[in-house]
Amino acid sequence: MKERKFLWWQEMPYTEVVRWAKEECDLAILPIGAIEQHGPHSPCGVDAYNAMGMAELIAKKTGAMLLPSPMYGSHPYHHWYMPGTIPLSYDTHIALLVDIVKGAAVSGYNKFIILSAHGQVSTTLVAVHKLGLEGHFTLSLHWYDFLRDNKDVLDDYMWHADEAETSVGLYLYPKYVDMSKAEKGGGEALVDRKWIIAPGMAPKPGTMYHFEGTFARPEYKELPNGVIGDPTKATYEKGEKLVTRTVNHISDLITDIMTRWPVGVKPPIK
């Protein structure tokens, strides 16, 4: 892969955006996160920064175009009304994702990956299927799905503002993380956790994904410090391993897609 001067759509003139799709790579990544409290030790932009940081590393390896991140995301019902968190409503977020992909397709991009670093499956899946009806090839990836029981790196699965997310922050943007303020969190599910697949956990027969039910009490009532899990266990080294693994997995996926459907070829959706 040859060296690129710029990675992001917003940094280039439209002529280069079009040339890139035509001659280099017609797969574009839309990194999405959220503006959300992440405990007293991490910034409210954790999820957006995680998505953008990983997307940059993936783009360097694969040649994918990077679409500007809207930063705001949609949130499961129990995140709402928590200070520091600014949720988009579900209809707003679905419309935003659909419009961005449709707009980018005009410049010649034929494959899209919505790379999410926040639990917003409730809207990304709907957007993918709406776009499918209109003939657009889109994948929605949640980065923690690539972790799947990484117990050789983490003591716990990924939760929220915890060991996993804070480690990624220490690796990608340490200047915004203050470990002296990191403290263990709380949070109980409304059904036994043995029925629920945590983010970053490998599914077992008969278990439900964490987004498949109203399993949690409202965060603003339930969580004293906004944290679920234990961020005091976060380190730069763990972050480096998690990010590298995820970036390599997604880069392999992109290479595979671009081999099956080379530049200029649109997967036959319609």
Q: Kindly list the residues in this chain that would bind Zn ion in the complex (CB under 5 A).
A: 46-47, 165
CB of 44: closest distance to Zn ion in angstroms?
A: 10
Q: Indicate the residue among 45 and 108 with the shorter CB distance to Zn ion.
A: 45
Q: Indicate the residue among 26 and 47 with the shorter CB distance to Zn ion.
A: 47
CB of 38: closest distance to Zn ion in angstroms?
A: 6
Q: Indicate the residue among 21 and 52 with the shorter CB distance to Zn ion.
A: 52
CA distances from 111 to 28, 72, 191, 234, 267 (A): 6, 23, 39, 35, 8
42 - beta bridge partners?
38
Q: Which residue is nearest to Zn ion (CB)?
A: 47
Q: Indicate the residue among 46 and 243 with the shorter CB distance to Zn ion.
A: 46
Residues 6+ apart with CB under 8 A from 133: none
CB of 158: closest distance to Zn ion in angstroms?
A: 9
Count the Cβ atoms, other than its own, within 10 Å of residue 205.
4
Q: Indicate the residue among 98 and 168 with the shorter CB distance to Zn ion.
A: 168
CB of 42: closest distance to Zn ion in angstroms?
A: 8
- 150 token code pair: 């990484």
Q: Indicate the residue among 46 and 65 with the shorter CB distance to Zn ion.
A: 46
**d(C-alpha 163, C-alpha 155), whole Å:** 8
Answer for the pair 266, 76: CB distance below 8 angstroms, yes or no.
no
Q: Indicate the residue among 50 and 62 with the shorter CB distance to Zn ion.
A: 50
Residues 6+ apart with CB under 8 A from 153: 238, 241, 242, 245
CB of 254: closest distance to Zn ion in angstroms?
A: 23
CB of 118: closest distance to Zn ion in angstroms?
A: 5
Among candidates 230, 229, 193, 233, which has minimal Cα distance to 213?
Answer: 193
CB of 29: closest distance to Zn ion in angstroms?
A: 19
CA distances from 228 to 23, 57, 246, 262 (A): 45, 28, 22, 42
CB of 58: closest distance to Zn ion in angstroms?
A: 19
Q: Indicate the residue among 39 and 108 with the shorter CB distance to Zn ion.
A: 39
**d(C-alpha 120, C-alpha 108), whole Å:** 27
* Pair type for strands 111-116 and 27-32: parallel
- 171 token code pair: 């690796």
